[in-house]
Chain A
Amino acid sequence: VVSALLLAACGGSPTAKSTATTTAASGVPTSSADNPNGVLRYGVDMVSSFSGTLDPSASTSICDSISLALIYDTLVHVNGQGKLVPGLAESWSLQGKTFILHLRANVVFQDGTPFNAQAVKEGLLHNQKGPQTGSDLNIISSIDVVNPLTLRLNLSTTAGSVLPYDFTSRDGMIVAPSSLAKGDSGTDPVGAGPYRFVSEIPGSLISLRRWSHYWDPPAQTLGGIDFIQASSDAPGVSALLAGDIDLLQVDPEALPAVTDNPAFRTGSSASSSYLQLQFRLGRPPFNNVKLRQAVLYAINRSAINRVVLGGKGIVATEVFPPGSAYYVPAVGNLYPYDPSKARQLLAEAGKPHGFSFQMVIPGGVTFLEQQAEIIQSELAVVGIKAQIVEKVSSDIASYYYDGGNGDAFAAEELGGINPTGVISGEYDAGQYVAIKDGGVRPDINALMQQAQSSANPDVEQQDVRQAVAIIAKEALEGPIAFIPVSIAWNPAHVGGIPVAPADGCSTIDLSKAYVKR
């Protein structure tokens, strides 16, 4: 009803689409239109996505990074191609259990104090205490300040190659020592990022303004950013249409309300997160590889991408998308849509008339419900009966994983830039999902440990690709489609082209956007 009302209110011709994709030409600010002191009103669903603290260590939501990355910056950055590049750290190296971090010179915190090795040591020790950041950083057993710009991190394991990936996130956000001393980093944060914190109305507004001594001035195209509470569905879109916000990440269901309005622009990028059918590998029916393969042959991924994601996703045949360094072309099309092949495999597995299984999905999420219904109808064609069971998100762990109910879980699998992390989550002996799902795989585990211990990116790439091939050949999971992240903005206020982030919990790339005069 809400969507229909919005569509009715938007008006405009459906044919008059004005979608600017993120691959469009650069939108570098022009001097005539750019307002260097302009403040961007960035709509974000703080209520649902933010944990309510501005301290990266205390943060319990990965989406906090949307605002925190601008306040604190990170030790390591990720470029548009998903590669690690220097951030507040200029370089790093790994030798066995020793990780050396070289910091950028002449960086200062937003209170004027120096950003140096001692400050980073204090910041990392602070992050080690965090409920989530601490999980990643607990491989650091001690930190030595070698000189004002160099730290030596002494590790408890050889898996140090994951640290640069961790340092692109909240783990690599350094709170100023002065702020730590005052103990108010959750409400009055001081970092070394491009925008300094000014004020906050919890759950409503976070105001940031340009930090004039940031180390990379060209990255600061805005005078400031006001994060304003706006959900990514219909109410948030109405705020965009009303002119209360300039920019918003938009759910697929709410996107037509913007794309049908010629006064607004949209963009999207395929994220590393993907729709997935996760099998319970530890017991029948899905401990049988032929039955898993039969299911994968019976699912038409293109249809799901078209219906559920509006065709904006990328069909997934592996756990990394085509174009990724970890994509393996040789296994890229192992299971094309082929119902007859599915029937053949069912017969080979001794189930010529199919079988039944329970498919658990998170309840109340429209696009996941749509996905489940399509999978159910496609499997029915070959005689496989999927019973859909919806559970609220907070009940998934107790019902599916701890309770051992259900045979498969169809949901969104969160991706990430750390390839070993993506794979280990489902196959590592220390991981909850792997343990409960019966998915622990010593062969994949060994490859991931080898990759994490290597300082050589080529070795890491080779190990990860081997793991990807195993997962695909044995049909250990069913990737369906990489989910797009869509954004919309008001070109009357925003110039250039904001670029949709690689995942829904990262900041929209504003380096090619500016606020108009």
Chain B
Amino acid sequence: VIGFVVRRLLTMIPMLLIVSFVVFAFTFLLPGDPARDIAGGLSASPVRVAQLRHQLGLDQPLVTQYLRWLGRLLTLNLGTSLFSGESVSSQLAQRFPVTLSIALGALVVGLLLGFPAGLAAGGRPGSILDRLITVGSSVGIGMPDFWLGIVLIIVFAVKIHLLPAVGYESLTASPLEWARHLLMAWIALGVAIAATIARQLRGSVIDELRQDYARSARSIGLEHRAVLIRHVLRNAVTPVVTLTGLQFAYLLGGTVIIEQIFGIPGLGSYFLQAITSKDVPVIQGVTLVVAVTFLVMNLLVDIAYAWLNPEIRMT
């Protein structure tokens, strides 16, 4: 196992290099001139803009700029924001746990709702409950998270004043307030995940129930519930694990709008600001963190997959 993990970690290096270079190159295609914006926009004098462009190294060729960024990265220095002058690493250290909180919370909501729903629907295919869950999951998948977020704000913050509409409290400062500030974001993002998990699990359970081993278990007199929990679930859950890993990776990059709506200071809002202003060090820093997390999640999913299904060899 250790050898497998080490090999996978080593393969991440070229992947991260490719991702970072591609993002770097695409950033150059974005319209706008950070030097002009930093100097004051349209009111900035051409001389001042040229000075700043040179000072920031933005007049260098793309490859030179990339190699300079890469050189700094080798010393674990992600540089500073072109616009605030603040360290990208320190901002990431503050903001990544926030986005992670949103993503993990949404995943928990997704699993808590989706897992039992999928199991119940798959366990009794064709039943009224199955049909209700199938329709509900279709609605859940089709419902935009930002729309649901706004509805939640109107109901729980504006109407009944139960939860705060905006803001964030750190977990260490107050666990209760942390949860109160994130609960609507978790639900807004978690509903679609729950729907996806429910659909996937339903399909897997139905497939597994048709297998010989399940029929044999039933033929020796085991109750349907026991067959479902003891035998079917372990096999049916394997594709759900993969799906959950992918959903988590999606969440890391998909919290931008939700962070905006709820005023949550995570990676999404930081990234959005960087994209609009073409703040290359920030864009690169966020990309790197998200890419590393994505790859690590994939690794964890593969390990879990193998653990659940020993027939799968780690190669």
Q: Which residues on A are within 8 Å of B, measured CB to CB?
A: 1-2, 5-6, 8-10, 43, 47-48, 51-53, 55, 58, 60-62, 131-132, 135, 186-187, 201-205, 228-231, 234-236, 238-239, 241-245, 391-392, 394-399, 401, 414, 425, 430-433, 435
Contact = CB atoms under 8 A, between A and B. Distances in A.
Contact of A398 (B31, B38, B150, B167): B31
Interface stretch (B77-85, B131-139, B229-237): B77-85
A238 B154 contact: yes
Contacts of A414: 43
Contact of B31 (A52, A234, A394, A435): A394
Contact of B38 (A10, A60, A397, A433): A60
Given A48-B273, A401-B42, A187 B157 contact: no
Given A48-B273, A205-B167, A241 B158 contact: yes
A61 B164 CA distance: 29
B46 A435 contact: yes
Given A238-B157, A432-B43, A244 B167 contact: yes
B294 interface: no
Contacts of B94: 201-202
A204 B91 contact: no
Nearest to A391: B31
Contacts of A243: 161
Contact of A235 (B30, B164, B260): B260
Interface in B243-281: 260-265, 269-270, 272-273, 276-278
Contact of B150 (A5, A48, A202, A399): A5
Residue of A5, A235, A241 with most chain B CB atoms under a 10 A cut-off: A235
Given A229-B166, A433-B43, A239 B84 contact: no
B265 A6 contact: no
Residue of A48, A241, A432 with most chain B CB atoms under a 10 A cut-off: A432
B57 interface: no
Interface in B126-152: 147, 150-151
Given A205-B168, A235-B262, 7 more contacts: A1-B147, A204-B264, A204-B265, A229-B265, A398-B33, A431-B45, A432-B45
A394 B42 CA distance: 11
B159 interface: yes
For the residues of B in contact with A, the DSSP-based class is: helix
Contacts of B84: 51-53, 58, 60, 186
A187 B49 CA distance: 26
B86 A52 contact: yes
13 contacts: A52-B86, A52-B91, A55-B85, A186-B86, A228-B167, A230-B263, A235-B153, A235-B165, A244-B165, A397-B36, A425-B42, A430-B47, A433-B42
B153 A238 contact: yes
B255 to A, nearest CB: 13
Contacts of A239: 157, 165-167, 263
B302 interface: no
B44 interface: yes
B48 interface: yes
Contacts of B37: 60, 394
Contacts of B161: 242-243
B265 A52 contact: no
Interface string B51-71: 010000000000000000000
Contacts of B166: 43, 228-230, 235-236, 239, 244-245
B40 interface: yes
B42 A397 contact: yes
A152 B269 CA distance: 44
Contacts of A230: 166, 263
Given A238-B157, A239-B165, A135 B39 contact: yes
Contacts of B40: 62, 131-132, 135
Interface string B152-183: 01100111010011111010000000000000
Contact of B158 (A229, A242, A397, A430): A242
Contact of A242 (B47, B165, B276): B165
A61 B83 CA distance: 8
A98 to B, nearest CB: 24
A505 to B, nearest CB: 12
Given A53-B86, A135-B48, A398-B32, A47 B81 contact: no
B202 interface: no
Contacts of A398: 31-33
Given A60-B38, A202-B91, A229 B167 contact: yes
B263 A235 contact: yes
B95 interface: yes
Nearest to A421: B43
Contacts of B272: 47
Contacts of A202: 86, 91, 94-95, 265
A225 to B, nearest CB: 15
Nearest to B163: A242
B154 A5 contact: yes
Given A238-B157, A244-B157, A432-B44, A132 B91 contact: no
A427 B272 CA distance: 35
A262 to B, nearest CB: 15
A430 B165 CA distance: 47
A53 B157 CA distance: 31
